[in-house]
Structure 1
Amino acid sequence: MTASAAPDNEVTLAPLSGAHIDSCVSLWNACRSGCRPLHYAPMISDTFTELFLSDASDRIVINLVALQAREVIGFASGTLRSGGEQGYITVVLVRDGDRRRGVGTRLLDGLEARLAAHGQPIDRYEVMFFNPVNIRWIVPGTDLHDHPNAPGVDVSCDGYLFLKNRGYRDVAYQNSYYLSLSYYRYPVDIESGIATLARGGIRIVRYDPHRHSGLNELFDDLGNDEWRRIVGANFAPDGPADPVLVVEDGDRVCGFTGPIRVQQSGRGYFAGIGVHSDYRGRGAGKALFAALCMELTEIGASFMTLFTGETNPARNIYEAAGFRIVRTWADMRRVL
């Protein structure tokens, strides 16, 4: 007895294989157009393979395609972090003419089932910026000005309501900020604030590891080991040693931002900004961030993008420098 082939109109799910890559890339790029387009960056086969099919020690990537008459009409991908307690939903895409036929639901259900069955206990599914698979997106209305990570679900896309209607709940909102640096200058009030700080002995300078002290104490105060790791790697013997800006009071470091570098797309790199709790409320954060924008402009950055939480007070720093919100994302979760 032989198994009968699926009818031509039947939709089946299958693991992603190399034979599907070109079709998935075409589907991805098609989803970037239309009345409610995804603002992901254009995809090519090499990038798709690197994102979804490359081996990595820190994660497990699970991919599914939806097939009709052997043609790819949908794609979904999810991730497990090694030792993590959640499964991440990275993307669910369905061809325009095949939406609202239950294809997306089948892909999501199949992806969740495969994440749960992989052998690593999980208690929730999430769509948020901790996902180790980073999806690059484009600032609307720009010439491919990009950000290297989508920090959740774009609330303006169809996928947002799709997930809400399948049990996912909003847990936080992230705003993406953008500023063209083509003609960046210090805002007048920040320039005045820098002068006021200087009169009190507080200055914005480049970090000098031979002169400054207190950098580790600053990271202790900020409670951010990821910033400690980034700055430490930058100044390691085999690191790039890019400049880092600090707020100094004498030789004491009481704020930081950097490292200062320009990415291939022309984006000014931004790891984060932090000011010691003893020095907040004086405008040091706004002065420090504006100084970063100026330094990035001087070394050739054409724009900056970043994101921060809707309720994060740091947004006041970015808005004071002239940044505007260009996209809002929802961090979403479904608890098992």
Structure 2
Amino acid sequence: MLVAWNERYVDETIALWNREAVKDGYKEMTEASFRSIITGNSHFDPGCAFVWLDDGVVTGFACGVTADELPLGDVAGYITCIITEQGGAPEERIGALLDALERRFAEKGKKQAEMLFFNPMQLPWYIPDTDRHEHNNAPGVPTGSRLHRFLLDRGYAERATQCAMYLRLGAFDVPDSILAKERKAAELGYSVELLNKKKHRGVREMLEALGNPLWQREIGRSFEEGMLVVIAAKGGEAVGFAGPVVRQANGRGYFAGIGVHPEHEGHGLGSSLFFRLCEAFQSIGTEYMSLYTGSANPAIRIYEKAGFRTVKTFAIMRRELS
């Protein structure tokens, strides 16, 4: 039967996760990581978490997020996860858990249910065919998974495909084609280099022009704290960025993104920023990089040129709630 979330289900839910969610490549959870990602998250709502019990044992778990301050949060509820035992009647469990999430979304005034990368509950997963290299967030539902197929059957629209891409840095080198682009851009006064607070100015203005709140927050903080960031500049004025350059404890290179001011596009700065970012990660001993991008995003060609390959795909999905 379906029941509301209660702390007494923590241990069994973690055990369920470590039996079933890992089959789709998700990282195992401990009590500490479960609380950090799920119940300890600032957006956790006990009314938006449910378990399915068979003979008093947890055989299903679902969790979602509703928060007006999130992107699309005024109209959308986010599905974080739905996991169930494969034995018995898994379709019944998934359906009941999904229905419960959708009802909760509707109660909170949401008009649609989403599986989308704006969800603040970030689920780490292992990169296939690696020595447990991991990415810090799943930007949707893994394509081809049982949940993916179920959502399609339930009328969820597949709005986009996110490609998870991976590069083991190893002997990464900036190719001659990028060096040639940099020489040409330099003739117009552009440079791509590490951010220097004494040398560069206009970082916040550049970030505001790009219009991405995450970048404004993370790169703005990195600038103030003197963290490594790759910058594109013209006459000392910031016109683009890549970073921050942060090596995580697991050896992965973390960065918030790459952007070029619209007035300075068309000079190869995006490509140069990305390749110099990879070089900067390599210089601080980063083992690998992973990122995701839309399958239709032209930037995917830049990543592939740098040696990245697509290792997994995720579907961005939505259903309008009646």
Q: How far apart are residue 49 of structure 1 and its match?
A: 2.1
> Structure 1: which 5+ runs fail to align?
1-11
Q: Give secondary structure in 2 for the equivalent of 1:97.
A: coil
Match of 1:38 among 8, 20, 24: 24
Q: In 2 relative to 1, CA 101–321 (structure 1 residues): closer, same or farther, beyond 3 Å?
A: closer
Q: In 2 relative to 1, CA 215–55 (structure 1 residues): closer, same or farther, beyond 3 Å?
A: closer
1:243 maps to what in 2?
228
Structure 1 residues 144-153 or 214-223, which shifts more? 214-223
Q: Is the 8 A contact 1:59 1:81 kept in 2?
A: no
> Structure 2: which 5+ runs fail to align?
none
Q: Does 1:167 align with 2:170?
A: no
2:88 maps to what in 1?
98
CA–CA separation in structure 2 for the residues paired with 1:322 and 1:264: 23
CA–CA separation in structure 2 for the residues paired with 1:143 and 1:28: 21
Q: In 2 relative to 1, CA 157–244 (structure 1 residues): closer, same or farther, beyond 3 Å?
A: same
Q: How far apart are residue 192 of structure 1 and its match?
A: 3.2
Q: Give secondary structure in 1 for the equivalent of 2:252.
A: coil
Q: How far apart are residue 42 of structure 1 and its match?
A: 1.3
Taking the TM superposition and a 5 Å limit, the aligned residue runs for 1:158-237 are 158-236=146-224
Q: How far apart are residue 199 of structure 1 and its match?
A: 4.3
User: What is the CA RMSD across the aligned residues, in angstroms?
Assistant: 1.9
Q: In 2 relative to 1, CA 281–111 (structure 1 residues): closer, same or farther, beyond 3 Å?
A: same
Q: Percent identity?
A: 37
Q: Does 1:107 align with 2:97?
A: yes
2:289 maps to what in 1?
304
Structure 1 residues 265-274 or 246-255, which shifts more? 246-255
1:49 maps to what in 2?
35
One-letter code aligned to 1:153: V
TM-score (norm 1): 0.88
CA–CA separation in structure 2 for the residues paired with 1:319 and 1:281: 19
Q: How far apart are residue 101 of structure 1 and its match?
A: 4.6
One-letter code aligned to 2:274: F
Q: Give secondary structure in 1 for the equivalent of 2:231.
A: strand
Q: How far apart are residue 200 of structure 1 and its match?
A: 4.1
Q: How far apart are residue 20 of structure 1 and its match?
A: 1.7
Structure 1 residues 157-166 or 187-196, which shifts more? 187-196
Q: How far apart are residue 89 of structure 1 and its match?
A: 0.9
CA–CA separation in structure 2 for the residues paired with 1:323 and 1:194: 21
One-letter code aligned to 2:216: R
Q: How far apart are residue 59 of structure 1 and its match?
A: 5.2
1:279 maps to what in 2?
264
2:77 maps to what in 1?
87
1:253 maps to what in 2?
238
Q: Give secondary structure in 1 for the equivalent of 2:311.
A: strand
CA–CA separation in structure 1 for the residues paired with 2:119 and 2:304: 27
The structure carrying a bigger helix percent of its residues is 2
CA–CA separation in structure 2 for the residues paired with 1:247 and 1:55: 35
Q: How far apart are residue 270 of structure 1 and its match?
A: 1.4
CA–CA separation in structure 2 for the residues paired with 1:59 and 1:16: 11
1:116 maps to what in 2?
106
Q: Is the 8 A contact 1:78 1:91 kept in 2?
A: yes
Q: Is the 8 A contact 1:73 1:98 kept in 2?
A: no
1:264 maps to what in 2?
249
Q: Is the 8 A contact 1:94 1:104 kept in 2?
A: yes
Match of 2:62 among 76, 94, 101: 76
Instruction: Please tell me whether Structure 1 or Structure 2 has the larger radius of gyration of its CA atoms.
Output: 1
Q: Is the 8 A contact 1:59 1:82 kept in 2?
A: no
Q: How far apart are residue 60 of structure 1 and its match?
A: 2.8
Aligned pair count? 316
CA–CA separation in structure 2 for the residues paired with 1:233 and 1:60: 29
One-letter code aligned to 2:26: Y
CA–CA separation in structure 1 for the residues paired with 2:21 and 2:81: 13
Cα deviation digits, residues 185-240 of structure 1 (max 9, x gap): 1133223333333344322112222322332332243222321221112233xx4x
Cα deviation digits, residues 238-289 of structure 1 (max 9, x gap): x4x2111111222122211111111111111111111222332332211111
Q: Give secondary structure in 2 for the equivalent of 1:317.
A: helix
Structure 1 residues 98-107 or 283-292, which shifts more? 98-107
